[in-house]
Structure 1
Amino acid sequence: MNKVNQPFRSYLFVPANRVERFEKALNTSADAVIIDLEDAVPADLKVSARQSLEQWLINHPEHQVMIRINPRQTEWFKDDVKLAHLKNVLAIVLPKTESAADIQQVLNERELDIYPLIETPFGLANVRQIAAAPSVRALMFGSIDFQLEMNMQGGYYELLAFRNEIVLASKLAGIESPVDGVTVDFKDEALIQLETLQAKNLGFSGKLCIHPAQVNIVNQTFSPTLPEIDWANRVLHAVDLAQGQAVSLDGKMIDLPVILKAKKILQHAN
């Protein structure tokens, strides 16, 4: 069954031990907020951060958030995953996902959307199996951790083949297009826009954000531009006028893939 829904564009991380930032994050224009129990929280604060997050979720049933728990391989996973029982937990972001069995461990607690983070060689090697696992809504690329695991430098051309494989695995599984990793330098707006556009061109549908200043750039870049919307409207108008006859626009033939692309742009724009 095809599991595609309208994807989110921007996913904003907020540390789980900074409860005072939760409302601020939710008041940004981010499509989704991920409260982070993993990288953003020091080891000695993980238990207290989880307890504070649980209490906040209980006290604020009106807010829906995603939660990044700690990996299955850690001592905190078993208690972190119990947060999935809370109904305002929209989805679980599962770091260091390396198999469909990792996902099943979360689903044993409650059936909800899972966003596996692909950030290890084993995760990438098993990415098609992971993408096809039950309840996976979209893959996320943990590009920074992946580079460290692979002892790689750079970030775009060096990781191009891996990003292509994640996009392909998502399409084969019939799930949403994947979500690209963070841009660490949140002050460099030109770099954020460049890396977001690169991800969009590769077939990603969204991007992880580590600072509110990145959100609007990501949203704008993943949204159809005015020229794209104008082109899509002109394509569909030309098709309507042709009444089933062969038709061209701007010197190019309009066939079914072009029509479907135009419809997708307008659907996304809405």
Structure 2
Amino acid sequence: MTTPNTVESLEHSWMPPGPAMLFCPADRPERYIKAAERADVVILDLEDAVSPDNRDDARAALIAHPLDPDRTVVRINPAGTRDHARDLAALTDTHYRVVMQAKAETPETITAHGLQTIALVETPLGVVAANQIAAAVNCIGLMWGAEDLVAGLGGKSSRFGPGEPDPGTYRDVARYARAQVRLAAAATGKFAVDAVHLDFRDEAGLVAEVTDAVALGYAATACIHPSQVPTIRAGYQPTDDEIAWARRVVDGSEEFHGGVFSIDGQMIDGPVLRQAEAVLSRAAATP
């Protein structure tokens, strides 16, 4: 089997079929099917979730236990590492066509292999270069990560702790990285995936982050535990009232031929119309 070339990949650019993207260690093939049943997208992880000693076994499992390539992403190791080259070699024996490249820092390391790539921006250099990375021809989306970023800063925590203001929420540098990735993705017409909420028992914290991600136009949120999937799906699914409002806006725009009009005292113009269209798009995409 071979992976598609860049030209073919771009002609059929992949989009997340739903908002809940679940990481699954690639060296645990017994979890593959369960993950696929629970989530919209499975991210088979060859990097942080797998110890270096187990990565050869993980690549073998990746080949031997195929999942639906339309609902599967493979997280590969950072460019310049021996594991990166081995990951790419293993992918040629699968039907998978979308990778998530860990610790993406330059566009050249993405274009070098030509695969449809979600660039995982999670280092200081990656955050600074987010605009250039997003513009890479085969970069289809961006995701950001807080823990490697903070480690690269020489720090100790991406979130405020007990006794600090707003415990559990991100510190300013992490929030900056999140905003930078979202802006870079939007500026280049790519989708963005929000970072995982590591404390899978903290449902309230996940709800708050998903609510904010939806408000900012993220396409999906990554997660590490199946219990987080329903919360993510619920957060991305517009309410009945939101859908009804969006349909009124779209219908009104057609009636007024794209001109300005009002609904319940709210002035409706081009930006509001686009927000309404985004609501209907999310409603159609969320399972």
TM-score, L = length of structure 2:
0.83
What are the Cα deviations for residues 171-228 of structure 1, in whole angstroms up to 9, with x where unaligned? 221212x111111111221121112222223332211110111111111212222221
SS at match of 2:91: helix
Q: Specify the code of the residue in structure 1 equivalent to 2:182.
A: V
Alignment partner of 2:212 out of 171, 192, 198: 198
What is the Cα deviation at residue 39 of structure 1? 0.7
* Distance across 1 between alignment mates of 2:79 and 2:254: 53
* Distance across 2 between alignment mates of 1:248 and 1:6: 34
Give 1:54-65 correspondences, 5 Å limit.
Answer: 54-57=63-66, 65=72
- Divergent runs of 4+, >6 A: 1-5
List runs of 5+ in structure 1 lacking aligned partners. Answer: none
Q: Specify the code of the residue in structure 1 equivalent to 2:181.
A: I
Give 1:27-38 correspondences, 5 Å limit.
Answer: 27-28=37-38, 30-38=39-47
What are the Cα deviations for residues 117-165 of structure 1, in whole angstroms up to 9, with x where unaligned? 0000111111111000011111010122112222154252522222221
* Distance across 2 between alignment mates of 1:134 and 1:207: 23
Q: Specify the code of the residue in structure 1 equivalent to 2:25.
A: P
Q: Does 1:133 align with 2:147?
A: no
* Distance across 1 between alignment mates of 2:242 and 2:258: 23
**How many residues in Structure 1 have an aligned counterpart in Structure 2?**
262
Q: Specify the code of the residue in structure 2 equivalent to 1:218.
A: I
What is the Cα deviation at residue 3 of structure 1? 9.4
* Distance across 2 between alignment mates of 1:90 and 1:72: 18
Distance 1:244 1:91, change over 3 A: closer
Q: What is the aligned partner in structure 2 of residue 98 from structure 1?
A: 105
Q: Alignment identity in percent?
A: 35
TM-score, L = length of structure 1:
0.88
Q: What is the aligned partner in structure 2 of residue 49 from structure 1?
A: 58
What is the Cα deviation at residue 86 of structure 1? 4.0
SS at match of 2:179: helix
Q: Specify the code of the residue in structure 2 equivalent to 1:43.
A: P
| Aligned-pair Cα RMSD in Å | 2.4
SS at match of 1:27: helix
Q: Does 1:124 align with 2:102?
A: no
Q: What is the aligned partner in structure 1 of residue 234 from structure 2?
A: 220
Distance 1:250 1:84, change over 3 A: same
| 8 Å Cα contact 2:29/2:61 also seen in 1 | yes
Alignment partner of 1:71 out of 54, 74, 78: 78
What is the Cα deviation at residue 246 of structure 1? 4.5
List runs of 5+ in structure 2 lacking aligned partners. Answer: 1-9, 160-168
Q: What is the aligned partner in structure 1 of residue 281 from structure 2?
A: 267
